[in-house]
Amino acid sequence: MGEDSLTSTPTFSSFHSGGSGSKMRLLPIFICLLLATAGFILGYMVYVSIAGVGSGAKDYFQMSPITRNPQVYSRTKYILPRPPLIGEGDQSYDNLNRPRSGSDPNDPDNDQTGLPVSLLRVNQDVGRDPDLERKVELIKMRAISKLRRSILNGAKVKGHLNEYGVDFSKLKPKSQRVTAKAVLCRLKKAGIKLIAQNSVGAFADKVFPTEPLFGNREGDTFSASVEPQPLYKTCAVIPNSAAFDGARHGIDIDSHDFIMRFNNAPTAGYESDVGSLTSLRIVNSQVVTKPQFHFPRRQRNSPTNKVKGHPINTTSKSGTASDDRTTRAELAAMDVDAVWEATPKFLVWDPCMYSASLDDWVKKPDFPLFEKYFNLTKEERNRFYLLDCRLIWKFWEILQEYSFVKIYGNPPTSGFIGIMLSLQVCERVNVYEYIPSVRESARCHYYGPRNESNPSCTYGAWHPVSAEKLFFLSLSDGTDKGVFIDGVLTLPGISTIKSC
């Protein structure tokens, strides 16, 4: 009796023996458990669908409370959870081959210019307008959710073709408690490295610039390694985003001390949205080498417009402005030559293998740019500069170090490179229509056809675009309204930190 009482359960034995009282007691409990489980699952599914990024959504992006002053949001630092890096070989990206051929020839790398260190909820004056406050919050939530989802979707795919031989095993994630100062100090250590005559033996007899890339101060000399200096108070970085359409940023952009543009993006006909002045244009090696881009034409002195002191022609062949931008054929007709003529200086970049030496790069560039580049420097030596390909991967490493998952093992965008350079020579950097804002568009470029739709231009496919954008968003000391309503991301330059 005693042994049987220890090894049997009266309730269940009576249930199996047909005890009606036990059945009546257990049935409601069983039904309640089923309903509770179903309710939990349903609630979780609703949460995931709203958050858009899975169980980590609220850890990654939280809404900070509004302070007693309705005009100002509280400044709160959210420390992000850092999931472990995915093991080498566990990650891949389907359909991420670089568009070397077969893609639109006027869209060299979908390069509109991109994981967070920590997301700062910064002081923000949105006036006494609760509707505007809610609008800012919703746009921010949507943008960050979509950016993070893009990164996580890429991190889950298997079989990634590591085309550039990136050694992920050497990349160690940083502490969760990372500050903007730490990132800027890391960037300062990377510096700005350009190719000079003594960089590679094969370049000994080539013509190189004798003037500095940034600044034009008397006594400056060209150097392969430029010590970062705050040469400019304000800099504007102008991606090629379609969000510029109707944004009316032109006057504000042209008020900056230094203005950076990318690839073949025109200003003619779009001055009210993107401005008319240019200080430097960063171009990738596809644009330099592919004949359809006509890169470049000599600078001509035409009396119609200015680019930081250089008179240039900004009138399109069609003779009209913003209405003639419906097809790529019309874009070509608008005169891509005028884009090149409007630019006083170019910085050319081409990716090498992750661990390549300069000699390796010279023997096997991504695109065959060297012959054309040196033909250009023979004609105008202080107009064309060449970025050290190893610096591109230094910038990529900084991005990876402060990312919570492994990112694409592909080179960053021209925009990312340009912003990283700007932070080293500018006290303040304003990046326009870079983070998805109220004007987010499915189109790729402001000068592209209106009927196109390609979300990869905003969120990335081959380049780690979403990671780039969240990285810079985490460094911003501007306002949420500035980013998500006005479309301007404000970043502090390295000159704003006192010591590293």
For every residue of 241-278, DSSP letters joined together read: BGGGTTT--HHHHHTSSEEEEETT---TT-HHHH-S--
Average pLDDT in the 473-495 region? 92
Q: Residue 44: pLDDT above 80?
A: no
For residue 371, name the pLDDT band (cuts at 50, 70, 90): very high
How confident is the prediction for the chain on average, in pLDDT?
Answer: 71
pLDDT grade for 178, boundaries at 50, 70 and 90:
low
Nearest by Cα to 492 from 391, 422, 415, 404: 422
| 24 in a structural domain | no
Find, among 132, 146, 137, the residue nearest to 435 by Cα.
146
Kindly list the distances between the CA atom of residue 241 and the CA atoms of 247, 433, 461, 468, 473, in Å, as whole numbers in the listed order.
Answer: 11, 6, 16, 15, 17
From CA 338, how far away is CA 298, in angstroms rounded?
Answer: 10
Instruction: Please report, rounded to a whole number, the percentage of residues in the chain having pLDDT higher than 70.
Output: 61
**Assign residue 466 a region: left if phi > 0, alpha if psi is -120 to 50, beta otherwise?**
alpha
Say yes or no: 200 and 56 in one domain: no
In a domain, 69, yes or no: no
Whether residue 123 sits in one domain with residue 50: no
Residue 118 CB coordination number (10 Å): 16
Q: What percent of the chain has pLDDT over 90?
A: 32
Residue 238: pLDDT band (50, 70, 90) is very high
Q: Which domain holds residue 185?
A: 119-496
Among the candidates 13, 46, 61, a domain finishes at: 61
Give tens-digit pLDDT for 384-414: 999 999 999 999 999 888 877 778 788 999 9
Same domain, 142 and 52: no
Reported confidence tier of residue 438, pLDDT bands at 50, 70, 90: confident
pLDDT of residue 83: 30
Average pLDDT over residues 48-76: 32
Residue 371 belongs to some domain of the structure: yes
Query: Which band of pLDDT confidence, cut at 50, 70 and 90, is reported for residue 460?
Result: low
pLDDT for the residue 78: 29
Contact 435, 488 (CB under 8 A): no
Q: Do residue 390 and residue 478 come from a single domain?
A: yes
Average pLDDT for 7-18: 42
Give SS3 for 306.
Answer: strand
Query: What is the distance between the alpha carbons of residues 207 and 186, in angstroms, rounded to a whole number?
Result: 32
Instruction: Give residue-wise pLDDT tens across range 70-105.
Output: 232 222 332 333 333 322 222 322 233 333 333 343
Number of domains in the chain: 2
pLDDT winner (highest mean) among 124-128, 152-156, 218-222: 152-156
> Which residues lie below 8 Å from residue 490, measured CB to CB, with a gap of 6+?
428, 429, 430, 476, 477, 478, 482
Highest mean pLDDT among 280-284, 319-323, 341-345, 465-469: 280-284
Strand partners, 73: 66
Check pLDDT > 50 for residue 445: yes
23 within a domain of the structure (yes/no): no
353 belongs to a structural domain? yes
Residue 85: other Cβ atoms inside 10 A: 19
Q: Map residue 419 onto helix, strand or coil.
A: helix
What would the mean pLDDT of 220-242 be, rounded to a whole number?
Answer: 71
Return d(Cα 2, Cα 190) in angstroms, integer: 78
Determine the average pLDDT of the residues in 329-337: 52
Q: How confident is the model at residue 142 (pLDDT cuts 50, 70, 90)?
A: confident
* pLDDT of 227 above 60: no
| CA angle (464, 467, 472) in 5-degree steps | 125
Judge if 391 and 257 occupy the same domain: yes
Same domain, 135 and 42: no
**Which range (117-126, 209-218, 295-304, 471-480) has the least confidence?**
117-126
CA triplet 398, 285, 236: central angle to 5 degrees?
A: 60
Any residues with CB less than 8 A from the CB of 100 and at least 6 apart, and which? 286
Please state, in angstroms and as integers, the Cα–Cα distance from residue 264 to each residue in 52, 316, 336, 339, following that order: 35, 14, 7, 7
Q: Band of the pLDDT at 15, cuts 50, 70, 90? A: very low
Q: pLDDT-derived band of residue 23, with 50, 70 and 90 as boundaries?
A: low
Reply yes or no on whether the pLDDT at 211 is more than 80.
yes
Q: Is 8 among the domain residues?
A: no
Q: Which residue has the higher pLDDT, 222 or 214?
A: 214
Residue 158 CA to residue 430 CA, distance in Å, equals 37
Residue 325: pLDDT band with limits 50, 70, 90: very low
Based on the fold, state whether residues 52 and 125 are members of the same structural domain. no
Q: What are phi and psi of 233, to 5 degrees?
A: -75, -50
40 & 175 share domain: no
**pLDDT on residue 283:** 96
Note the pLDDT of residue 155: 57
119-121/310-312 β-pairing: unpaired
Tell me whether residue 114 is in a domain: no
Q: Residues 257-274: pLDDT tens digits?
A: 999 999 989 998 899 999
The enclosing H or E element of 491 equals strand 488-492
Half-sphere exposure of 322 (CA within 13 A, CB side): 12
Residue that terminates a domain, selected from 13, 45, 61: 61
Rounded to 5 degrees, what are φ and ψ at 346? -125, 140
State both tokens at 359.
């000699």
What's residue 201's pLDDT?
83
pLDDT attached to residue 229: 56
What phi, psi does 349 have (nearest 5°)?
A: -135, 150
pLDDT-based confidence at residue 492 (cuts at 50, 70, 90): very high
CA 361 distance to own-chain centroid: 25
Rounded CA gap, 132 and 493, in Å?
A: 30
User: Is 398 found in the same domain as 250?
Assistant: yes
Q: pLDDT tens-digit profile of 270-320? A: 999 999 999 999 999 999 999 888 887 654 433 333 444 332 333 332 232
- pLDDT, residue 46, reads 52
Residue 331: pLDDT above 80?
A: no
pLDDT value of position 235: 96
CB atoms within 10 A of CB 491: 23
Question: Is 350 exposed, middle or buried (CB count within 10 Å of its CB: 0-12, 13-18, 19+)?
Answer: buried
In a domain, 74, yes or no: no
Element (H, E) at 235: strand 232-237
pLDDT at position 336: 67
The predicted model scores a pTM of 0.69
Q: What mean pLDDT do residues 219-237 have?
A: 65
Domain with residue 410: its CATH number is 3.90.1480.20
- Token couple for 219: 């006594």
Contact 120, 476 (CB under 8 A): yes
Q: Which of 41, 61, 81 is the last residue of a domain?
A: 61
Say what the pLDDT of residue 450 is.
73
Which helix (H) or strand (E) is 43 found in, with range?
helix 20-51
CB 394: neighbour CB atoms within 10 A?
16
Look up residue 192 and give its amino acid. I
Residue 259 confidence (pLDDT): 97
> Do residues 294 and 162 both lie within one domain?
yes
Same domain? For 201 and 57 the reply is no
For residues 134 and 53, membership in a common domain is answered with no
Confidence of residue 154 (pLDDT cuts 50, 70, 90): low
Whether the pLDDT of residue 341 is over 80: the answer is: yes
Which of 196-200, 251-255, 415-419, 423-427 shows the lowest mean pLDDT across its residues?
Answer: 196-200
